[in-house]
A and B are shown apart, each in its own frame.
Chain A
Amino acid sequence: MLFELKHETLFEYSEPVTDSMMEFRLTPKTDAKQKVIIHQSRVVPARSTRRYLDGWGNTVTTVNIPFSHQKVEVVFESVVECDEGSRTENEQGSARDLALYDFKQPSRLVEWTPLFREFVQDFESIRDHPTRELAEKLSEAIHTGFRYDTKATTASSTIDDLLRGRAGVCQDFSHLMIGVARWLGVPARYVSGYVYSDRYQEQTVASHAWVELFDESSGWIGIDPTHNDWVRESHLRLGVGRDYQDVSPNRGLYRGSAQESVEVRVFLRPIDPVELEQSTKRLFTSAQLTAYATRQFRKPAPVSILQAITAAQQQQQQQQ
């Protein structure tokens, strides 16, 4: 299946800021399951972007804006071909143990807290089950045991928050499932990406997160506890890591005492192979970001994550 993807992030500040420094993990991966055919990024105000691969093999795009500015729009556009399978990558040979090490330990957002240890007792009975079976059971349990509610948690919520409130979003469900899998000795990692949502009724947001478990025979396999389903051709992978913090779509800092609001818009649609040529042409010629000039920006959101840190007023960007 071919997808055309556009991810726009708009940062708006209540007054001018300077020295913005940002990192984005918004470049789809090329792996056993999907292939990136076109990928490009643009920034307004016009700035060059740079790329590097992080320790997990995710592509990171960096951009900085030294001068005074009040709005930044960053657009990533891709055309990606996606296969039906759930398998993504395999680690081989003596490198396997080393590559899997991090995915067997608790991590910052996947801690084995007392509340978690209590929760995980129910799953001890499936400890030695085959990976696929174990995955399906965990996914089922999380899907039925927790309510999907975008208001229940935030980007920095922990597993405990989910266990207390019994409600959350894909990020929280994935963290919990990763935690349980690791506890049961199965290497597990966090995947950030998109899901083409025509398939699923429950939610329409295209940005998504799910889980990959490592199976001795087939390597990493993807499962989506939010939809209680195996990962399919509707799932587009951006990055992998121990938890959300390793693959957050954006992170950054700026200087100034302004309040920041962030708006993300994702457009994801399947295209025909015949459309590919048109799509390519369009992507490479659309120098103007018309949306930037015309759209009405929403009012600054209540500041929750934003922290004024010091007199130097270096601030952390909100993560989405």
Chain B
Amino acid sequence: MSLFYNYSKLSANDEALSDGGEVHALYEGIATSLEKLSPKELETKKKAADLFFLNRGTTFTVYNEDQGIDRVFPFDPIPRIISGTEWEKIEFGLRQRIFALNLFLKDIYHDQRILRDGVIPVDLILGAKHFRREWVGVEVPHDIYVHICGTDLIRDENGDMVVLEDNLRSPSGVSYVLENREAMKSMFPEFFEGYDIRPVQEYSYLLREVLEFIAPPSADDPVAVLLSPGVYNSAYFEHTFLAKQMGIRVVEGRDLVVDDDILYMKTTGGLRKVDVVYRRIDDDFLDPLIFRPDSVLGVPGIVNAYRRGNVALANSIGTGVADDKAVYAYVPKIIRYYLGEEPLLQNVPTIIASDPGGVTAIQDQIENLVVKRVDEAGGYGMLIGPHSTRSEQEEFKARVAAEPRCYIAQRMVDFSTHPSFIDGSLQPRRVDLRPYILFGSEVKVLPGGLTRVALREGSMVVNSSQGGGSKDTWVLR
């Protein structure tokens, strides 16, 4: 008997079921495959998949829990399926967004037209924590600031994909997209029957192309490296994984040295010039000469080498100002301002605390809102109104009043659920989607992206740092 038989519609908005509660056409193939598997067999296969990840070292690191820090990212074997037509729409929306955000970054680090024209409050940009004055007026290769972008989407009550946030600094998670697909192919080959799925494995190749594209013109055969904060970083697995796939080296700050504004890597054969750095380290820690002087993760002088055009960085410096959650609220305006187009992907309606009346608007309905700190990521520093206690709400009311510039609030979207295999049966769990967009000689969007699952029943937090899992995401042709 199919596991789908018992899958009741616990959510108003489930991706695998149609309105009548029947299996959605996209999922009929999966439902048929599941008919041939007993829950016990599926459980065994799922355990095998966990071993698959463990053996391959596909792990991540979790802070603030007492157990060991290396975890296997929990994997859910029921794939998420997105139709080709819907994906086309998402892809166009993401392209539009990354174009506009790059034009925005170029503008605010040069002419600041958008501020002079009063489209965005000056304070929101010049007062932003991640606005880098040090980078004003500096040219970057091809005027591209964000080469790698991860934009988080959720499906709202109407079934539309809406943007929750942009990650323009160093979005992580793409390695799980590639590994989840590998695991599915090895452990659940029968699920693929009857589906024509777009591949994801070309990502590393595309990323390598982007890195070569932005290399200084003088570099014939550009040497690229991946700069990692080191083994204690939550995404260290991903750093080594991507570097290996691209055929480049993982380095840490201490492996690099700058001389005469040229970046070198220390190798057993002596110093070797580096042309491109895929850095997975925040601006703050990148260069102790320019940013935080106490950083030991960075490379003294790398910013000046970049400034001189002797090395390229991906992503560029100062991109964090555009993924500030208060700036996010202005992205539809940013798109209209630079492109003269209507946004193809909508935002979740957002209240900015620092706007006139913003604090009161948040305080008055805090029990219905999701309150977030503008400069935090990874599910830290947020309050989910409907799931919070009175005292938590009071605490956040006070925080918002004390630092309005630091908070936004959003309507709580009852976003979509997806069947997940939990404790021997299929259960609805909320999912989001993080597609990955690459910007080099052209914009390329990886088909699908990382579907994260809030594994705790009823939970709305999908972040891996908060106990989320993931599943393979299929975009059909």
Q: Given the complex, which residues of A lie within 8 Å of B258, measured CB to CB?
A: 21, 64
Name A102's contact: one of B126, B135, B257, B296 (CB within 8 Å): B126
Known: A19-B257, A50-B261, A102-B133. A312 touches B296 (CB 8 A): yes
Chain B residue contacts of A95, Cβ below 8 A: 112, 116
Q: Does B301 contact A64, Cβ atoms closer than 8 Å?
A: yes
Contact with B along A39-71 (1 / 0, CB 8 A): 000000000101011111000001010100000
Q: Across the interface, which residues of B come within 8 angstroms of A55, CB to CB?
A: 133-137
Q: Which of B15-23, B241-249, B286-294, B352-360 contacts A (4 or more CB under 8 A)?
A: B286-294
Residue among A50, A55, A102 having the largest count of chain B Cβ atoms under 10 Å: A55
Which residues of chain B in 105-122 are interfacial with respect to chain A, using CB atoms and an 8 Å cutoff?
Answer: 112, 115-116, 122
Closest to B117 in A: A94
A253 with B116, Cβ < 8 A, contacts A21-B300, A101-B126 known: no
Answer yes or no: A97 CB below 8 A from chain B CBs.
yes
Q: Quick one: which of B116, B261, B289 has the most chain A CB within 10 A?
A: B289
Cα-based distance from A48 to B293 in the complex (angstroms): 24
Contact of A314 among B116, B122, B133, B300 (CB under 8 A): B300
Would A23 and B289 be within 8 Å (CB), given that A52-B307, A98-B116, A309-B296 are in contact?
A: yes
Distance to closest chain A CB from B395 (angstroms): 23
Verify if A252 is at the interface (C-beta below 8 Å from B). Answer: yes
A310 contacts chain B at the CB level, 8 A cutoff:
yes
For B123, the chain A residues whose CB sits under 8 A away are 101
> Which residues of A are found within 8 Å of B288, using beta-carbon distances?
253, 314, 316
**Measured between C-beta atoms, what is the minimum distance from A116 to chain B in Å?**
18
Q: Compute how far the CA of A87 lies from the CA of B116 in the bound complex, rounded to whole angstroms.
A: 26
- Total interface residues on B, using CB and 8 Å? 28
Query: Is there contact, CB below 8 Å, between A98 and B112?
Result: yes
Q: Is A64 a contact partner of B122 (Cβ separation < 8 A)?
A: no
Q: Which residues of A contact B259 (CB under 8 A)?
A: 64, 66
- In the complex, A64 Cα to B263 Cα: how many Å? 12
Give the residues in chain B near A316, CB-CB below 8 Å: 288, 293-294
Residue in chain A with minimal CB distance to B264: A66
B308 at the interface (CB under 8 A from A): yes
Residues in B159-217 with C-beta less than 8 Å from chain A: none
Q: Is A154 an interface residue (CB 8 A)?
A: no
Chain A residues lying within 8 Å of B294, measured Cβ to Cβ, are 307, 309, 316
For B133, what are the chain A residues with a Cβ–Cβ distance below 8 Å? 55-56, 102
Which residue from B296, B300, B304 sits with its C-beta under 8 Å from A310? B296
Contact A62 B116 (CB under 8 A): no
In the complex, chain A residues whose CB is within 8 Å of the CB of B423: none
Give the top 4 A-B pairs by smallest Cβ distance, nearest first. A55-B133, A21-B300, A55-B136, A94-B116
